[in-house]
Structure 1
Amino acid sequence: MKAMVQDTYGSPDVLEFRDIDKPPIGADEVLVRVRAAGVDPGVWHLMAGQPYLLRVIGFGLRAPKVRVRGRDVAGSVEAVGENVTDLRVGAEVFGICEGSFAEYASVRADKCAPMPASLRFDQAAAVPVSGITALRALRDAGQVRAGQRVLVVGAAGGVGTFAVQLAKTFGAHVTGVCSTTKVDLVRSLGADETIDYTREDFTDRTGHFDLILDIAGNRPLSRLRRSLAPRGTLVIVGGEGRRWLGGMDRLLRAVVLSMFLSQHLRGVFPQENREDLMILRELIEDRKITPVIDRTYALAETPDAIRYVHKGHASGKVVVVL
């Protein structure tokens, strides 16, 4: 099969488009013929091996253990493991795996689900990683409730576009922070208000928000807390930082600081599972949320797709189509 393969850490230039063997499947896995694969910022971090903490915790100290990148996947089942009873050959599925930038991928059965019938493969591939992250940030870490004032920082990105729609589904009053060119998009997703960060500093709204989702940001905690209600909750969703710890040091400071505050400062660590995929599937079928796609690339163009996402200007998701 054709795949984007990396033998060393580095820039997108380390990815090579070449032939490799199809991946084997275990008893609890299915072999998926990949039709589309989403691209998120995490792909760049795993490809580059940065922050270096990733290498230390098991992704490969000197070279990546997983040679094919890509986690979001949508496609059709080609074969099933002996313990898999609820998925059949030919079923169209979406989910999360390791190695979706390839013609075939092995996927754990408990990390994939039947694809929403209303979506194309490229749309379905935009959902799993970002959708689950947004869902868990709001529902689990943020414990969002109807009527709350929710601020989504990074509202036009992959996670942000889902977060805006989900927060509205939960009954919140949603304000989205984005750049000038993306204001209309964020409004179209249901945001009650928007803040153009090139014209206004949202931290000037002192004590205004019950829940803030800071997505892939690096703003100081002191600034974020200014906008948070006295007993509000800040959820840090990813983040950028230095080469060794990335945004992990900011998250650790937030957790420690939270022990001495009436405000709640938390992170989100998505646990990928079929149950959350099924929740997202139902919301999509009910037309309560819809994936937003910025642009698509062919499999051989995956390095360009990753470069584009890493620049941070994508509206919604970027998807590789096969």
Structure 2
Amino acid sequence: MRAITYSTFGGADVLELTEQPDPHIGPDTLLVRVRAASVNPVDWKVRQGYLAGLIDTVFPAIPGWDVAGVVEQVGLDTPEFEVGDEVYGYVRKDTVQGGTFAELVAAPVRTLARKPPSLSFEEAAAVPLAGLTAYQTIQRAGVEAGQTVLVHAAAGGVGAFGVQLATALGARVIGTASEGNHEFLRGLGAEPVTYGDGLVDRVRALAPDGIDVALDFAGGGAVAASAELLADGGTIASIADATARSEHGGHSIWARPSTADLDALTALFAAGKLSVELAQVFDLADAADAHRASETGHTRGKIVVRV
């Protein structure tokens, strides 16, 4: 099969289109014919070796955890799916090796769900990691109707889902983004504010009584700024800054594969409460360019690789 691989940590130029053996599947694993995958910041951080102390990489490594495709072969004990089923999933394993930037991927059944019928394969591939991260962060933070929620990096891949999910729960959402993305955020149901110097004052002007929940999908100084804005009893949840938990009594989030949570997202798509924004779609051979685009940190929505 064709696959994108890298054999050493480094920049995007270490990514190559190569021929690799077809994956072997175990009893609780499915072989999926990949139609699309997507880039997440964690992909290039792993590729650069930044997370070597947290995630093991086995070379040659095939990157990618997001997938949308068609079941090609079922394992011995995978009654949930049949050959030909359209699926999507967050195929994170214990090591980075057999990822989704390939024509075929061996996907543990616990990582997959049926693809939302209303989404194309490219759109579906953009959902799993970003959507699950937003969904699980909101669940952990206990977002409820009537609360005021501050979403950092609200126009990004995770943030855009976070805005929509919090809005669907009946929360008032304030979202940080560059000025060029403010109209986009209004369309998702958020009140936009510009990030950077003076953010605390700008948010306080919108929410003088403070915010109930801060969702940090940005890192940097987002947790510290959020702590200044919390109302009594408020909470912070972060995917990028462990001090949200260690110093502020909040939550540090690392998304987990979950069929049930993917099914919950699928139901929200079916109800018209979620949409997905695609920033760019690249061909598999151009995966290095897809990584470079993600590394700029200025894309709106998700970057997808079509296989």
Match of 2:56 in 1: 59
Per-residue CA deviation, residues 145-192 of structure 1 (Å, 9 max, x unaligned), is: 11000010100000001000000111100111100111111111111x
Structure 1 runs, 4 residues or longer, greater than 4 Å off: none
CA deviation after TM superposition for structure 1 residue 38, in Å: 1.1
How far apart, in 2, do the equivalents of 1:198 and 1:101 lie?
35
Match of 1:261 in 2: none
Per-residue CA deviation, residues 298-321 of structure 1 (Å, 9 max, x unaligned), is: 001111111111110110111001
**What amino acid is aligned across from residue 112 of structure 2 in structure 1?**
C
Secondary structure at the counterpart of residue 10 of structure 2: coil
Match of 2:193 in 1: 195
* 1:274 pairs with one of 231, 234, 259: 259
How far apart, in 2, do the equivalents of 1:16 and 1:24 lie?
22
The TM-score with structure 1 as length reference comes to 0.88
Aligned ranges 1:135-284 → 2 under 5 Å: 135-140=135-140, 142-191=141-190, 193-197=191-195, 200-203=198-201, 205=204, 208-219=210-221, 221-238=223-240, 250-251=241-242, 253-258=243-248, 264-284=249-269
How far apart, in 2, do the equivalents of 1:130 and 1:15 lie?
23
Q: How many residues align?
A: 297
How far apart, in 1, do the equivalents of 2:18 and 2:138 lie?
40
Answer yes or no: is the 8 Å Cα contact 1:195–1:202 preserved in 2.
Answer: no
CA deviation after TM superposition for structure 1 residue 198, in Å: 5.8
Aligned ranges 1:52-131 → 2 under 5 Å: 54-60=51-57, 64-65=58-59, 67-97=61-91, 98-131=98-131
Structure 1 residue runs of 5 or longer lacking an equivalent are 239-249, 259-263
Question: In the superposition, relative to structure 1, how do residues 218 and 199 fare at CA in structure 2: closer, same or farther (>3 Å)?
Answer: closer
CA deviation after TM superposition for structure 1 residue 269, in Å: 2.2
Answer yes or no: is the 8 Å Cα contact 1:180–1:198 preserved in 2.
Answer: no
The RMSD of aligned alpha carbons is 1.6
How far apart, in 2, do the equivalents of 1:10 and 1:207 lie?
46
CA deviation after TM superposition for structure 1 residue 66, in Å: 6.5
Answer yes or no: is the 8 Å Cα contact 1:66–1:99 preserved in 2.
Answer: no
Answer yes or no: is the 8 Å Cα contact 1:59–1:65 preserved in 2.
Answer: no
CA deviation after TM superposition for structure 1 residue 254, in Å: 3.5
Question: Once the two structures are aligned, what percentage of the paired residues are identical?
Answer: 37
**What amino acid is aligned across from residue 225 of structure 2 in structure 1?**
R
**What amino acid is aligned across from residue 56 of structure 1 in structure 2?**
G
How far apart, in 1, do the equivalents of 2:250 and 2:278 lie?
31
The TM-score with structure 2 as length reference comes to 0.92
CA deviation after TM superposition for structure 1 residue 45, in Å: 1.0
How far apart, in 2, do the equivalents of 1:65 and 1:189 lie?
41
Q: Which deviates further from its counterpart, 70-79 or 92-101?
A: 92-101
Secondary structure at the counterpart of residue 165 of structure 1: helix
Structure 2 residue runs of 5 or longer lacking an equivalent are 92-97
Secondary structure at the counterpart of residue 67 of structure 1: strand
